[in-house]
Amino acid sequence: MPAESNSSVDAIVIGAGFGGLYAVHKLRDELGLTVRGFDLAGGPGGTWWWNRYPGARCDIESIHYSYSFSDEIQREWEWSERYPAQPEILSYLEFCADKLDVRKEFTFNKRVTSTVWDDTDKTWTVTTEDGETCTARFVIAATGNVNIPKLGKEFPGLEEFAGEVYASSRWPHEGVDLTGKRVGVIGTGSTGIQIIPVIAQQAAHLTVFQRTPNYAVPLGNKPVEPPQRRWNAENWRELRAHSRDRLLGAPYENPEPSALAVDPDERRARFDELWRQGGFQFLTSSYGDLLTDERANDTAAEYVRERIRETVKDPKTAELLCPTDHPYGTKRPALETDYFLTYNRDNVELVDVRSAPIEQVTATSVRTTDREYELDVIVLATGFDAITGSLLNLGFVGRDGVALADRWADGPKTYLGISVSGFPNLFTITGPQSAVALYNNPLAIEDHVDFAAAAIKRVLDSGAATIETNEEAERAWGKEVEGILNRTLLPKANSWYMGANVPGKPRATYVFAGGAPLYRAMCADVMARDFAGFSIGDAPAPGIPPMVQLDPAVAMVVGAMLQQDMKPLEECTLEETREAIEGFALLQDPIPSSVRVVETSYRGPADERPARIYLPEGAESTGSLPVIVYFHGGGFVAGSIDACARPCGNLAAELGAIVVTPSYRLAPEAPFPAATDDTYAALCWVADTIAEHGGDPARIVVMGESAGGQLAAVAAQRARDENGPELLAQVLLYPTIDAEADTASRVEYAAGPVISADAARGMWAGYLGETSPASSVLASPARAESLAGLPPALVVSCECDPLRDEGEDYGRALEAAGVPTRVVRLEGLVHGVYNMSAYVPRVAEFNRYVAEFLQPLTSRTAVGV
Ligand code: NAP
């Protein structure tokens, strides 16, 4: 389309890389909108149009680093190498632009200088450097994350240099002949690591100016042979399956949970294997705690250092190349081809500009604080004003004349990394605080464009003019993203992930570090709730969705679960459900060694049943300790005294109480009321026998988690009604109280996370069977004729739990009946979290509340009140 000096369309797309090309196609061909695109580059390709430096190559496999939305493109395009080089990716994107016929919507060689919102017309006006304007209701900023190069502003005198200066990302299209020249490369990030081995082969002499040594793992590139190419073309669906369910958005094998849980030989063998294989799998498929546990990370970091020392002959140079100031993977992991070997060449010299920084560039040299290096060519591989730089470069001014640069003066504030309050109808594709840095970009981009298109369609269908997020949603998102980031080791590096590579740029939360599956689940939750956190027109925004309210540590656990291809509980067979519940043991802290565990048994109504007693230090000698009879959860159909062993051991240690866990018969093999009959019998047995272990039968507390909470509540009622043991208290952790509960939380958190309302219903059905009445008080203790005279109650509920309200309602009913009751709701936590102590620090809050609640009761009894 010929450029008009003043045009008006439905949507403007800025950028013609993976994001912009797909966005134009999506909006034009699927939504039927008129679209114009702008790009400063001379053609399609985005980052691959600019980055033509020697050695430029993608380090995600070609088959994964490509569009997934078009069957035709997938079938027709054949990649020639495992990892594609820049010219091939550029050709691919040109092919896609032609295939989608989107070139004609773009105006190339156009620099956008301002993008301003008009709140009267509800439109954006984009102005380009040459004065052209274009207005549109919607703007898609698809400008990428690493495209505003630093260009050597930090090197005084660079403009005086009489030789040639090249920035890696602005490499001349005709190439540069470096034969016979003295070349200096500044920078050893992903770019430096690629460019250095290639330049070393051409230049007479290469000086590498390194400020921070970088970890690099072999790339393992190789050609894709014709039979494989044909196979790929036919089987791309299989090849790409699961990509979006894995941390990085590529279908890499899941890692073992912890590098510290295996012996050093096994660990080394695993690292060896992945090193030989090459690629990102060294990080993603080795051990799951490399980015969260510094000791685990050290094992990988030391392995890489060993390989560097093995490869580089000169020990001094090898030592200089060994990274020690940041954990492995906390800067964007680099992949290398002959990088470390290059330092064995006679024409290559490594200069440490950490100990002696560059202080001046002269007409002929780079001068550090301790020496001068004569050069003919300087190559800047010094990185980018990443993530926010390209957006701030577009001169955004939103509602009320507020500039984006001012709103983000202290760092980016976004919702989902795709929307900014005060900037209606603007979508930032893989923007700040999205999964950008840790999610295979073409797929991340498709997700964002799809999200933006769905949002635009929603606005258009509603007849409203705008969609816009708000500051509350931004705050919630910022808190979530920051919380997740701080659960990782990423803040330990001065990287572009942290905004720490550009002098003066605020160190802030720029990246969502929870991985692709978690990020996608959060966005899906927003969409499923009619764009929760966004206002459409003047309608108030639906509240922040549960996935965005999760405690960050819980979010990480949920993210890890999503990567395991686990079926939702409601779709599991009985065996799978039981296996899943037992699996929670992997998420728990070990039992403190001070706790002694006694295996025993009790006589239940049907059989002799195993039970376990946890004795805190000195229990038998102290005598007369309070006793907690703890019933495990598992929806009456799963769970065991093994699955709750660690929480119970910790409970005993932290409260200084004796904890007894009886097993009980599970449904459906032993349906209702078997579980309640067993647990009540166990309670009576404890009252009769616990003195033998130093327990005080006058100070017994019943406690349970989830279905165990229901069993505890029922046991308390039976003890009252059947002249059973006198109880000191009942502690109900997120109990399921009523099979037929019809509460707001069952609707709001119907899909979970962790447990869905359907899964809960399925478990109840398994327990009650076909004939048992849900209304029986043994099934639904809330329906008891009277709740008066029951022991004091503590109900701890979790905010993001479908079963939250029924537990809280029961607590309130107890209180109304005159039972001293405390109801505590833990924000951001989920059903089952009591069993996740190794990964969720806030699990400690449960036992703190229990201790706080029981303390006055136990001490009052102890002094005989
Ligand atoms: P980068 O990772 O930011 O690395 C820049 C390098 O320049 C670092 O070694 C940095 O040292 C050094 N540097 C910056 N300012 C300096 C100064 N004033 N004095 C001395 N040294 C200085 O940038 P990049 O290598 O261009 O990579 C950026 C991103 O682009 C990558 O992380 C990746 O996402 C993408 N990329 C991908 C590929 C690929 O797919 N294979 C290839 C290239 C780039 P410090 O570490 O001390 O700051």
| 3-class state of residue 851 by DSSP | helix
- Dihedral pair phi/psi, residue 210, rounded to 5°: -110, 125
DSSP E strand stretches across 32-122: 35-38, 106-107, 112-118
Dist. CA 112 → ligand 1 center (Å): 26
DSSP E strand stretches across 161-288: 164-167, 182-186, 205-210, 216-218
Cβ–Cβ under 8 Å, residues 728 and 861? yes
Residues above pLDDT 70, as percent of the chain: 99
Dist. CA 586 → ligand 1 center (Å): 38
Cβ–Cβ under 8 Å, residues 837 and 589? yes
| 3-class state of residue 630 by DSSP | strand
The mean pLDDT of 840-864, rounded to a whole number, is 83
Q: Whose CA is nearest to atom 48 of ligand 1?
A: 501
Q: Which single residue is written with the structure tokens 């294997």?
A: 273
Atom of ligand 1 nearest to the CA of 382: 7
Q: Which residues pair with 789 in a beta bridge?
A: none
The tokens for 596 are 């002694």
DSSP state of 5: S
Give the whole-angstrom CA distance, residue 831 versus residue 324: 41
The mean pLDDT of 589-596, rounded to a whole number, is 94
The tokens for 130 are 């040459």
Atom of ligand 1 nearest to the CA of 60: 40
Q: Whose CA is nearest to atom 39 of ligand 1?
A: 58
Integer CA distances (angstroms), 538 to 138, 333, 463, 534, 544, in order: 17, 45, 11, 10, 17
Atom of ligand 1 nearest to the CA of 58: 40
Cβ–Cβ under 8 Å, residues 481 and 153? no
The tokens for 410 are 């202290």
Dist. CA 405 → ligand 1 center (Å): 24
Ligand 1-lining residues (CB < 6 angstroms) = 57-59, 146, 154, 186-192, 194, 211-212, 332, 353, 358, 381-384, 496, 501
Give the whole-angstrom CA distance, residue 558 versus residue 515: 11
Angle between helices 645-655 and 844-862 (to 10 degrees): 50
Dist. CA 332 → ligand 1 center (Å): 9
Per-residue pLDDT reduced to its tens digit, 645-673 = 999 999 999 999 999 999 999 999 999 99
Atom of ligand 1 nearest to the CA of 500: 48
Half-sphere exposure of 182 (CA within 13 A, CB side): 10
Per-residue pLDDT reduced to its tens digit, 477-530 = 999 999 999 999 999 999 999 999 999 999 999 999 999 999 999 999 999 999
Q: Which residues pair with 721 in a beta bridge?
A: none
Higher pLDDT, residue 467 or 770? 467
Q: Cβ contacts of residue 797 below 8 Å, gap of 6+?
A: 734, 803, 804, 805, 807, 808, 823, 824, 825, 826
| 3-class state of residue 298 by DSSP | helix
pLDDT of residue 861: 47
Give the whole-angstrom CA distance, residue 729 versus residue 711: 14
Give the whole-angstrom CA distance, residue 585 versus residue 567: 18
Dist. CA 501 → ligand 1 center (Å): 9
Half-sphere exposure of 654 (CA within 13 A, CB side): 19
Cβ–Cβ under 8 Å, residues 42 and 49? yes
Dist. CA 191 → ligand 1 center (Å): 6
Dist. CA 493 → ligand 1 center (Å): 13
The tokens for 470 are 């708000």
The mean pLDDT of the chain is 95
The mean pLDDT of 258-276, rounded to a whole number, is 97
Rounded (10°) CA dihedral 685, 690, 692, 693: 140
Angle between helices 264-277 and 294-311 (to 10 degrees): 60
pLDDT of residue 4: 56
- Dihedral pair phi/psi, residue 391, rounded to 5°: -75, -45
Q: Whose CA is nearest to atom 14 of ligand 1?
A: 382
The mean pLDDT of 704-731, rounded to a whole number, is 98
The tokens for 589 are 């802290």
Give the whole-angstrom CA distance, residue 192 versus residue 208: 9
Residue length, the chain?
Answer: 865
> Could you tell me the end-to-end alpha-carbon distance of the chain, in angstroms, rounded to an integer?
89
Give the whole-angstrom CA distance, residue 648 versus residue 524: 36
Residue 1 has pLDDT above 60, yes or no: no
Per-residue pLDDT reduced to its tens digit, 335-388 = 999 999 999 999 999 999 999 999 999 999 999 999 999 999 999 999 999 999
Atom of ligand 1 nearest to the CA of 190: 25
Strand order in the sheet with 372-374: 358-361, 365-368, 372-374
Residue 788 has pLDDT above 50, yes or no: yes
- Dihedral pair phi/psi, residue 491, rounded to 5°: -65, -10
Dist. CA 431 → ligand 1 center (Å): 19
The mean pLDDT of 609-627, rounded to a whole number, is 89
- Dihedral pair phi/psi, residue 441, rounded to 5°: -60, -45
| 3-class state of residue 205 by DSSP | strand
Q: Which single residue is written with the structure tokens 């250095």?
A: 196
Cβ–Cβ under 8 Å, residues 628 and 659? yes
Per-residue pLDDT reduced to its tens digit, 381-432 = 999 999 999 999 999 999 999 999 999 999 999 999 999 999 999 999 999 9
Integer CA distances (angstroms), 82 to 78, 216, 488, 703, 721, in order: 11, 18, 30, 57, 72
pLDDT of residue 864: 30
Closest CA to 643 of 634, 655, 652: 634
**Exposure b/e, 109-119, CB count within 10 A at least 16 = b:** ebebeebbbee
Q: Where are the alpha helices (DSSP H) in 583-660?
A: 619-622, 645-655
H or E segment to which residue 710 belongs: helix 707-721
Which residue from 64, 89, 168, 501 has its CB within 8 A of the most atoms of ligand 1, so it is best to mutate? 501
pLDDT of residue 860: 54
703 — pLDDT class (breaks 50, 70, 90) = very high
Which residue from 211, 368, 385 has its CB within 8 A of the most atoms of ligand 1, so it is best to mutate? 211
Give the whole-angstrom CA distance, residue 626 versus residue 851: 11
DSSP state of 342: H
Sign of the four-CA dihedral 635, 641, 645, 649:
positive
Give the whole-angstrom CA distance, residue 691 versus residue 725: 14
Q: Which single residue is written with the structure tokens 């406690």?
A: 703
550 — pLDDT class (breaks 50, 70, 90) = very high
Rg of the Cα trace of the chain? 31
The mean pLDDT of 32-38, rounded to a whole number, is 98
Three-state DSSP string of 136-191: EEEEEECCCCCCCECCCCCCCCHHHCCCEEEEHHHCCCCCCCCCCCEEEEECCCHH
- Dihedral pair phi/psi, residue 730, rounded to 5°: -125, 135
Lowest-pLDDT choice from 173-177, 210-214, 739-743, 797-801: 739-743
pLDDT of residue 862: 41
Give the whole-angstrom CA distance, residue 148 versus residue 189: 16
**Amino acid code (one letter) for 241:** A
Q: Cβ contacts of residue 476 below 8 Å, gap of 6+?
A: 533, 544, 548, 549
CA 848 and chain centroid, separation: 28
Q: Cβ contacts of residue 820 below 8 Å, gap of 6+?
A: 792, 793
Three-state DSSP string of 511-553: CCCCCHHHHHHHHHHHHHCCCCCEEECCCCCCCCCHHHHCCHH
Q: Which single residue is written with the structure tokens 């819980």?
A: 554
Which residue from 191, 359, 361 has its CB within 8 A of the most atoms of ligand 1, so it is best to mutate? 191
Give the whole-angstrom CA distance, residue 238 versus residue 231: 11
DSSP state of 396: E
The tokens for 792 are 């004091």
> In the chain, how long is the greatest CA-to-CA distance?
98
Q: Whose CA is nearest to atom 40 of ligand 1?
A: 58
Dist. CA 357 → ligand 1 center (Å): 17
The mean pLDDT of 822-847, rounded to a whole number, is 97
- Dihedral pair phi/psi, residue 28, rounded to 5°: -75, -50
Q: Which residues pair with 700 in a beta bridge?
A: 627, 727
Give the whole-angstrom CA distance, residue 325 versus residue 308: 16
Residue 2 has pLDDT above 60, yes or no: no
Q: Whose CA is nearest to atom 12 of ligand 1?
A: 187
Integer CA distances (angstroms), 166 to 183, 195, 379, 479, in order: 11, 12, 5, 40
Atom of ligand 1 nearest to the CA of 188: 9
Give the whole-angstrom CA distance, residue 161 versus residue 375: 9
Atom of ligand 1 nearest to the CA of 496: 3
- Dihedral pair phi/psi, residue 709, rounded to 5°: -65, -40
| 3-class state of residue 695 by DSSP | strand
